[in-house]
Amino acid sequence: MIVLDGATKRYGSTTVLDQVSLSFGEEGVTALIGPNGAGKSTLFSVIGRLLQPEEGRVLVDDLDVATAPSRTLATRLAVLRQDNHIAARLTVADLVEFGRFPHSRGRMTTEDREHVEQALDYLDLQPYRARYLDQLSGGQRQRAFVAMVLAQDTRYVLLDEPLNNLDLRHAVEIMRLLRRMADELGKRIVVVLHDINVAARYCDRIVAMRDGRVVCDGPAAEVMDPEVLESVYDLPVDVREIDGRLVALTAG
């Protein structure tokens, strides 16, 4: 379980996370939605020990992220941030191998290599494994990053807007892959999404944030409600049922 207990993060006088208490770990795939600036990335940073909250605690499997050894945490929790820029000239295979670093500490075993190959297979990256990251399209690079956190082989995987830059097919494939990771490998995934229809289709639970607070948290059917969505996005949203699926439509 990932447990946030009254986590608060401020920049000067602006409160970006406001007493957030939340836990992840029951459901397979959880979507985190909310308008830009709601604090979703900040929430991930706080869980991923990249930012220290001013108040509150964050626990990962009963380990306090503020005090637990970073290396131990890295074998349980993987966080992929939103904008990833790598200056070093690395190949796709190099990058995915670094995902094994918490386990191998640089000495790759056969098991490590298997995880790397599996991750490359899962993300359809074998044809590009020897390419440098700056020789890939945005979507291919994004998949390489996802392969890296997959190779890290942690129970908890947090992905911040992983569908950025992806075409329709690869976006769907990533979502299916996340489902498989949850259903077949027992992983617990939290993913920031902007397309609420994708969230409703593939996720077991949707957490909506706004102004640093959690405003709604529940199964997809509960959040896919015109009033709820309007309160999150400040925009009239229509929800229809099409072939048994809830679909949100924006007016205008």
Partner 1 sequence: MTAVTNHAPTPARTSRTGVGVVVGIALLVLTVTSVFIGVSDVTPASLVRADADSHAAFLLLVSRIPRTVAVLLVGASLGIAGLIMQMMVRNRFVEPSTTGVTEFATLGMLGCIVLAPALPVVGKAAVAAVFGLAGTWVFLQVIKAVPVRQLVLVPLVGIMLGGVVGAFTTFIAYRMDLLQSLGQWSQGSFASVMAGRYELLWLAGAMVIVAWVAADRFSVIGLGEDFATNLGLNCRRVMAIGMVIIAVITATVLATAGIVPFLGLVVPNVVSLIIGDNVRRAIPWVAGLGAVFILACDILARVVRFPYEIPLSVIVGIVGAGIFLWLLLRKGSRAH
The answer to the question of residue 196 lying near ligand ADP (CB under 6 A) is no
Stretch that binds Mg ion, among 59-67, 81-89, 129-137, 145-153 (CB under 5 A): 81-89
Closest approach, Cβ 40 to Mg ion, in A, equals 5
One of 63, 74, 246, 247 touching partner 1 (CB under 8 A): 74
Record the tokens describing residue 23, joined without a space: 């836990």
The answer to the question of residue 41 lying near Mg ion (CB under 5 A) is yes
The answer to the question of residue 99 lying near ligand ADP (CB under 6 A) is no
Nearer to partner 1 by C-beta: 19 or 104?
A: 104
Q: How many helices (H) and strands (E) does the chain have?
A: 10, 12
The answer to the question of residue 152 lying near Mg ion (CB under 5 A) is no
The answer to the question of residue 36 lying near ligand ADP (CB under 6 A) is yes
One of 91, 164, 197, 231 touching partner 1 (CB under 8 A): 91
Stretch that binds partner 1, among 69-77, 112-120, 172-180, 216-224 (CB under 8 A): 69-77
- Considering only residues 151 to 190 of the shown chain, the ones binding partner 1 according to CB under 8 A are 152
Q: Alpha helix locations (H) across 88-163?
A: 92-98, 101-104, 110-122, 138-151
Quick one: which of 21, 18, 17 has its CA closest to 5? 21
Q: Which helix (H) or strand (E) segment is 60 a member of? A: strand 55-60
Residue 2 half-sphere exposure, CB side, CA atoms within 13 Å? 29
Query: Which partner from the list partner 1, Mg ion, ligand ADP, none does 36 bind, CB cut-off 5 to 8 Å by kind?
Result: ligand ADP
As a whole number of angstroms, the distance between CA 79 and CA 154 comes to 10
Query: Which partner from the list partner 1, Mg ion, ligand ADP, none does 34 bind, CB cut-off 5 to 8 Å by kind?
Result: ligand ADP
Degrees to nearest 5, angle at CA 180 with 176 and 186: 145
One of 22, 28, 33, 40 touching ligand ADP (CB under 6 A): 40
Q: Which residues pair with 159 in a beta bridge?
A: 80, 191
CB 198 within 8 A of CB 246: no
Q: Which residues pair with 237 in a beta bridge?
A: 250
CB 51 within 8 A of CB 226: no
Residues that bind ligand ADP (CB under 6 A): 11, 16, 34, 36-42
Residues that bind partner 1 (CB under 8 A): 48-50, 69-75, 78-81, 84-91, 94, 98-99, 101-102, 105-106, 126-128, 130-132, 149, 152
